[in-house]
């Protein structure tokens, strides 16, 4: 039984804030769905409703509210009827608080979708059923999904978003046709398996009319699952899954070395950062990389208080029992971790290429992983994902914007890295073009040498 089904059965358990994104192809109804959720949860002020009701670019007839205008704040977005930038909104129900990112559906803005997805607990992938291609065959109706639906699902799978809700939208435009929904559901579930999504739910909705968004729709009596909002209220967040998601021990990338009263005999020297894996207690023996020196944690300082222990996600200052060579970019780890933390110079990683210019192995790139930055050379491109067939193409030296590829990197200096599946913070990175200072790729480590 997966975590979604189990959580929905429990129903009453308390969860923390849920961060989710809406993804899918352009004009699939992502912004409209968020607007509907904000409206139904009373998260819209009266003056906001009045303003969008009179908006010159609204795309609904008569007095019907165009909910997409609530998140499409840029004038260019309203004129073109598309989302360009990532828009974050906040709303709450009596059960839970939510942070939702409305990400662009257009292929040109896939990089913005990656940004929004990188911190999400759940992804809602919208599937516009009016744009699904149906074909009659011997085994019944067969559905073919849009390429952008496949791309966003693949990115969500690569980023390790633990659960994806596939919302088959605009069911009102096909008269809530059960046969078309079943064919679409089958295609979606095959896609989820192919791109490695851990848990997937498929539900029929109409964001515009509100069917199956907050309450069950009488127009889909054949759908026995819950509407969208109750699912979101009970689905586990990453924090709920943290214990299982982090398989590594203590990880502490140093952001800043704090010195106070350095001229005095009892001067203070601490190392500031965020606990990205495991936990640490006063008295624990740690290893400082890349020097490999051992030390014992003598104090854990949070603001003006001393703590006995620092947990995952806490920002603290560590004080060690001896003077060791530590600077920004170094990493303090547990000395008894069963997962190897030996610094490495070579990595294999899945990347999403974000730059207009294609990948060029001859160029110099910087890799930024946690607080450490060093030069990186792209040794080889192992494979590129064909987004239409979801198969890996022939080895090539060229990776274009929005491509998903697997590459091998050689680093100028060693870094402490983990696999992305073991720890997201120390298993991810960005690549920066050294000539333009543009971020050109987001990467997830799949192997280290």
pLDDT at 196: 82
Task: Report residue 319: phi and psi, to 5°.
Answer: -115, 130
Rg (CA), the chain: 24
Rounded CA-CA distance 434/61 in Å is 50
Q: Biggest alpha carbon distance in the chain? A: 85
Rounded CA-CA distance 430/426 in Å is 12
- How many Cβ atoms are within 10 Å of 321's Cβ, its own excluded? 12
Q: Are 49 and 58 in contact (CB under 8 A)?
A: no
Task: Please check the confidence at residue 349 and state whether its pLDDT lies above 50.
Answer: yes
Tokens found for residue 326: 């530590």
- How many Cβ atoms are within 10 Å of 257's Cβ, its own excluded? 14
pLDDT at 449: 82
Point out the least confidently predicted range of 43-52, 270-279, 341-350.
43-52
pLDDT at 133: 92
Point out the least confidently predicted range of 30-44, 50-64, 245-259, 264-278.
50-64
pLDDT at 342: 87
* pLDDT range class, residue 329, cuts 50, 70, 90: very high
How many percent of the chain have pLDDT more than 70? 80
Higher pLDDT pick, 341 / 293? 293
Rounded CA-CA distance 404/387 in Å is 8
Rounded CA-CA distance 119/103 in Å is 12
Tokens 């207009």 — which residue? 356
Output the pTM of the full model. 0.73
SS3 at position 26? coil
Higher pLDDT pick, 195 / 224? 224
Higher pLDDT pick, 76 / 183? 183
- How many Cβ atoms are within 10 Å of 364's Cβ, its own excluded? 14
Mean pLDDT score across all residues of the chain: 83
Name the nearest CA neighbour of 236 among 37, 423, 8.
8
User: What integer is the mean pLDDT of 83-90?
Assistant: 66
pLDDT at 103: 73
pLDDT at 295: 94
Point out the least confidently predicted range of 97-111, 141-155, 358-372.
97-111
194-198, 236-240, 309-313: which is most confident: 309-313
Helices (H) and strands (E) in the chain, counts: 9, 24
Task: Please check the confidence at residue 43 and state whether its pLDDT lies above 80.
Answer: no
pLDDT at 11: 46
pLDDT at 10: 47
Beta strands in 321-416 (DSSP E): 331-334, 344-353, 365-369, 372-386, 391-392, 404-415
| 389-417 pLDDT tens trace | 666 655 556 788 888 889 999 999 999 99
pLDDT at 1: 40
Tokens found for residue 257: 């070395």
Task: Please check the confidence at residue 12 and state whether its pLDDT lies above 50.
Answer: no
| 242-301 pLDDT tens trace | 554 467 889 999 999 998 766 666 778 899 999 998 899 999 999 999 889 999 999 999
């Amino acid at each position: 039984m997966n975590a979604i089904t189990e959580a929905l059965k429990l129903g009453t358990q308390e969860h923390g804030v849920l961060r989710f994104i809406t993804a899918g192809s352009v004009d699939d109804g992502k912004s409209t769905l968020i607007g509907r959720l904000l409206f139904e949860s009373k998260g819209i002020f009266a003056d906001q409703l009045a303003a969008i009701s009179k908006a010159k670019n609204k795309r609904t007839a008569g007095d019907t509210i165009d909910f997409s205008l609530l998140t499409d704040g840029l004038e260019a977005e309203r004129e073109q009827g598309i989302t360009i930038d990532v828009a974050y909104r906040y709303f709450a129900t009596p059960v839970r608080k939510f942070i939702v990112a409305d990400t662009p559906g257009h292929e040109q803005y896939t990089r913005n979708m990656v940004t929004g997805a990188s911190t999400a607990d759940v992804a809602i992938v919208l599937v516009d059923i009016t744009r699904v291609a149906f074909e009659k065959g011997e085994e019944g109706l067969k559905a073919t999904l849009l390429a952008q639906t496949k791309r966003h699902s693949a990115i969500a799978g690569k980023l390790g978003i633990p659960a994806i809700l596939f919302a088959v939208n605009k069911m009102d435009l096909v008269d809530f046709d059960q046969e078309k929904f079943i064919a679409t559901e089958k295609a979606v579930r095959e896609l989820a398996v192919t791109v490695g999504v851990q848990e997937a739910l498929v539900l029929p909705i109409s964001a515009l009319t509100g069917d199956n968004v907050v309450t069950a729709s009488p127009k889909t009596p054949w759908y026995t699952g819950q509407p969208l909002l109750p699912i979101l209220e009970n689905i586990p967040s990453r924090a709920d899954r943290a214990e299982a998601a982090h398989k590594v021990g203590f990880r502490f990338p140093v952001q800043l070395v704090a010195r106070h009263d350095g001229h005095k005999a009892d001067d203070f020297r601490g190392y500031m950062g965020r606990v990205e894996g495991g936990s640490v207690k006063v008295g624990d023996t740690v290893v400082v990389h890349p020097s490999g020196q051992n030390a014992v944690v003598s104090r854990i300082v949070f603001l003006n208080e001393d703590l006995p222990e620092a947990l995952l996600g806490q920002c603290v200052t560590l004080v060690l029992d001896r003077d060791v060579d530590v600077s920004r970019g170094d990493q303090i780890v547990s000395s008894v971790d069963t997962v190897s933390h030996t610094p490495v110079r070579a990595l294999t990683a899945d990347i999403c290429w974000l730059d207009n210019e294609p990948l060029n192995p001859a160029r110099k790139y910087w890799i930024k992983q946690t607080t450490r930055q060093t030069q990186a050379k792209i040794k080889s491109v192992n494979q590129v994902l064909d987004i239409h067939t979801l198969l890996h193409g022939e080895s090539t030296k060229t990776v274009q914007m929005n491509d998903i590829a697997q590459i091998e990197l050689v680093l100028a200096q060693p870094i402490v890295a983990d696999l992305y599946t073991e720890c997201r913070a120390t298993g991810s990175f960005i690549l920066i073009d050294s000539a333009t200072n543009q971020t050109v790729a987001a990467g997830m480590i799949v192997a280290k040498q």
